[in-house]
A and B are shown apart, each in its own frame.
Chain A
């Protein structure tokens, strides 16, 4: 059995992030459940234009508890998780190289694959912990508030945030393997996440753009829909499948290239392309 010291170290290194993001989610979840009764009457009497309704509520009516939680919580909270994912994803390879510590790790009898897989495992555990801590916010609110949302469904909807988190994590991981420059990799993924969030939100409400949403991970994520419909397995499968593909690409790219130290990059456009195509300089 291989020793999991890298996984353990990674988890230890991110413990305050896990606690911090987790508690932020807890607070958000509980607060939104507790303010729901105050909003309910107003929202139920309010007739919003369909486009605005769609903008806020996606496919659910914002005048229902599920729609409200979807619009106010599940639609954007994944952004927080994605921030965590990007920090971890770019830190795992690019960060370790930028800080120059990768040389020390990989001079040990530790394979590159094992190293990356342990770091992936740590982030999987970390994400589950954050979402679980966040769900405690529902545990301390839903049973005590008159809201038409079942506690079990909040658990399902919370767990449903994991695949999109994993997608953006593996995207950051892969970009960090392609270009061992943490800032560039983070910028690229954050930009992509933000753009796809807004495209999806806009496409929900603006008919001519409607088909664009099929190109964004947020559509497959489905915000609060699992509160009503349960998990959409094909969509989850797609997010997880792309994540897995990116992880495999990461193993391949990082397995074949030179390790850099101190964020040194010899990268021009051709170099990036070469790495994406994963051709080692020797081979």
Chain B
């Protein structure tokens, strides 16, 4: 068994009276894309900054590639490419000078060709001052500085926020290439579809605790689908009286419903009813829905309304 890329054991972090992390245990195997999913304020950034020794835990240990995050921090950082969630750059620097600066801290020889490839694939011009770059272009610069020296582990805090979908897709490919190359990608997100699209495994963090670690395929199977079906005329009242399916509301000919065990039964019920379907939309389940799916089976039994409330109060 090889050394895990990331390993956290009983990590606790308090900020005064706020408990940011309440005992995190997490193992990320090397060579995978691992998503770190949770609402804002759940502790994602805290956990990530702790891996890089930017902050220190109150208890527990964190290791990256077997190196202690705190005592062997330089060894860790030599092997990690990091993109902060709250990315701040030197506005008065020219993009390429900034990348040179970041390169200067790395002992290995500068990989000019790979840097150029990254810039080209992301469509980023580094001849301008960072001040003049759009939010999306800054984000690209953040991704390039994290990836350009081909680190063994990429730790990216909300890497695709602010990027348009085409660029998000390119970033996804870059990360997949890195993993194919034997590297590990650990990224955080508060958007479920992004994690589903990118990662092979996911850890869900909520209120400073890891509530689930799953393969993406299993997560998808467990996640809730929300459907909006429009019929040509009002459908029978009992059309969706199926196990695992709940009607949320009806607006005339339109039915909103939630399916917990996949959408197969719903589709077949509609087909069998003979009712004419005019439109069918599926909504991405929100994080709350995912939590609902998890908590529905747990003894905790907390209502999703609770989660929603906390989310709206949470801060980054």
Chain B interface SS verdict (over half): loop
Q: In the complex, what distance in Å separates the CA atom of A183 from the CA atom of B73? A: 30
Q: Considering the chains assembled together, what is the distance between the CA atoms of A109 and B54 in angstroms? A: 12
**Residues of A close to B70: CB separation below 8 A:** 282
Cβ distance B67 to chain A, nearest Cβ, rounded Å = 12
Among A101, A261, A282, contact of B89 (Cβ-Cβ < 8 Å): A101
**Contact: A109 with B56, CB < 8 Å?**
no
Task: Specify which of B55, B80, B101 is in contact with A258 (CB 8 Å cutoff).
Answer: B55
Contacts of A257 in B (CB 8 A): 56
> Which residues of chain B are within 8 angstroms of A282 by Cβ–Cβ distance?
56-59, 70
B77 x A109 contact (CB < 8 A) = yes
Query: Is B165's beta carbon under 8 Å from chain A?
Result: no
Q: Is the CB of A109 within 8 A of B78?
A: yes
Contact partner of A281 among B56, B82, B107, CB < 8 A?
B56
Known contacts A101-B90, A103-B84, A107-B84; decide if A258 and B105 are in contact (CB<8 Å). no
User: In the complex the two chains form, what is the Cα distance from A119 to B14 in whole Å?
Assistant: 30
A67 CA to B89 CA, complexed, in Å: 49
- With A100-B88, A108-B77 in contact, do A258 and B54 touch (Cβ < 8 Å)? yes
Q: Would you list which residues of chain B between 70 and 94 have a CB under 8 Å from chain A?
A: 70, 73-74, 77-78, 80, 82, 84, 86-90, 92
B311 CB–A CB distance under 8 Å: no
Digitize A78-113: 1 where CB-to-B-CB distance is under 8 Å, 0 elsewhere. 000000000000000000000111011011111100
Q: Which of A9, A261, A268 contacts B101 (CB 8 A)?
A: A9
Among the interface residues A107, A258, A262, which one has the most CB atoms of the partner chain B within 10 A? Answer: A107
- Considering the chains assembled together, what is the distance between the CA atoms of A111 and B77 in angstroms? 10
| Minimum Cβ distance to chain A for residue B86 (Å) | 6
Q: Do most interface residues of chain A lie in helix, strand or loop, or is the interface mixed?
A: loop
Asked if B54 and A100 sit within 8 Å, CB to CB, the answer is no
* B86, A261: Cβ atoms closer than 8 Å: yes
Q: Of the candidates A108, A262, A280, which one forms a contact with B88 in the assembled complex, judged by CB atoms under 8 Å apart?
A: A262
A5 interface contact, C-beta 8 A: yes
Q: How many A-B residue pairs have CB under 8 A?
A: 75
Q: Which residue of B lies closest to A283 (CB)?
A: B56
Let me know if A3 is at the binding interface, CB within 8 A.
yes
Complex alpha-carbon distance, A108 and B48, angstroms: 14
Q: Which residues of B contact A266 (CB under 8 A)?
A: 15-16
Q: Is the CB of B105 within 8 A of A3?
A: yes
User: Hey, which chain A residues are within 8 Å of B92, CB to CB?
Assistant: 13
Do A108 and B105 have beta carbons less than 8 Å apart?
yes
Set of chain A residues within 8 Å of B59, measured between Cβ atoms:
282
- Assess whether B121 is interfacial by the CB under 8 Å rule: no
Bound form: Cα–Cα A154–B80 in Å: 52
The answer to whether B88 touches A107, judged by C-beta atoms less than 8 angstroms apart, is no
| Bitwise interface map of B from 182 to 210 toward A, beta carbon under 8 Å scored 1, else 0 | 00000000000000000000000000000
Tell whether, in the assembled complex, residue B74 and residue A259 are in contact, meaning their CB atoms are under 8 Å apart. no
1/0 contact string of A99-142 vs chain B (CB within 8 Å): 11101101111110000000000000000000000000000000
- Report B140 CB to chain A, min CB distance, Å: 15
B interface residue count range (under 10 / 10 to 19 / 20 to 34 / 35 or more): 20 to 34
The reply on B110 being an interface residue by CB < 8 A is no
Once bound together, how far apart are the Cα atoms of A9 and B101, in whole Å? 8
Kindly list chain B residues whose C-beta atoms are within 8 Å of the C-beta of A99: 88
Q: Are B88 and A101 in contact (CB under 8 A)?
A: yes
Complex formed: what's the CA distance from A262 to B107 in Å?
Answer: 29
Point out the residues of chain A lying under 8 angstroms from B131, CB to CB: none
Residue of A nearest to B53 (CB): A106
Question: Please, which residues of chain B bring their CB within 8 A of the CB of A100?
Answer: 84, 86, 88
Is the Cβ of A262 less than 8 Å from the Cβ of B55? no
Distance in angstroms from B87 CB to nearest chain A CB is: 8
B233 at the interface (CB under 8 A from A): no
Q: Is the Cβ of A280 less than 8 Å from the Cβ of B77?
A: no
Contacts of A103 in B (CB 8 A): 49, 54, 84, 86, 88
Shortest Cβ gap from B208 to chain A (Å): 16
Do residues B86 and A107 form an inter-chain contact, with CB atoms below 8 A? no
- Judge whether A110 and B84 touch: CB under 8 Å: no
Contacting pair A106 B52 (CB below 8 A): yes
**Residues of chain A with a CB closer than 8 A to B145's CB:** 104
Q: Which residues of B, 12-59, contact A by the 8 Å Cβ criterion? A: 14-16, 49, 52-59
Query: Are A281 and B14 in contact, CB atoms less than 8 angstroms apart?
Result: yes
- Chain B positions 85-132 with a Cβ under 8 Å from a chain A Cβ: 86-90, 92, 101-102, 104-107
Task: Across the interface, name the chain B residue whose C-beta is closest to A257.
Answer: B56
Chain A residues contacting B77 (CB-CB under 8 Å) are 107-110
CB distance from B74 to the nearest CB of A (A): 5
What residues on B are CB-neighbors of A104 within 8 Å? 84, 87-89, 102, 145
Docked complex Cα distance between A281 and B90 (Å) = 30
The complex places the Cα of A222 from the Cα of B58 at a distance, in Å, of 48
With both beta carbons as reference points, the residue of chain B lying nearest to A104 in the complex is identified as B84
Which residues of chain A have C-beta atoms less than 8 A from B57's C-beta?
282
Contact residues of A with B, CB < 8 Å? 3, 5, 9, 13, 99-101, 103-104, 106-111, 256-259, 261-262, 266, 268, 271, 280-282
Could you list 7 further interchain pairs (A-B, Cβ under 8 angstroms) beyond the known A258-B56, A280-B56?
A: A258-B55, A259-B49, A259-B55, A261-B86, A266-B16, A282-B56, A282-B58
6 A/B residue pairs, CB under 8 Å, sorted by A: A3-B104, A5-B101, A5-B105, A103-B49, A103-B86, A106-B53
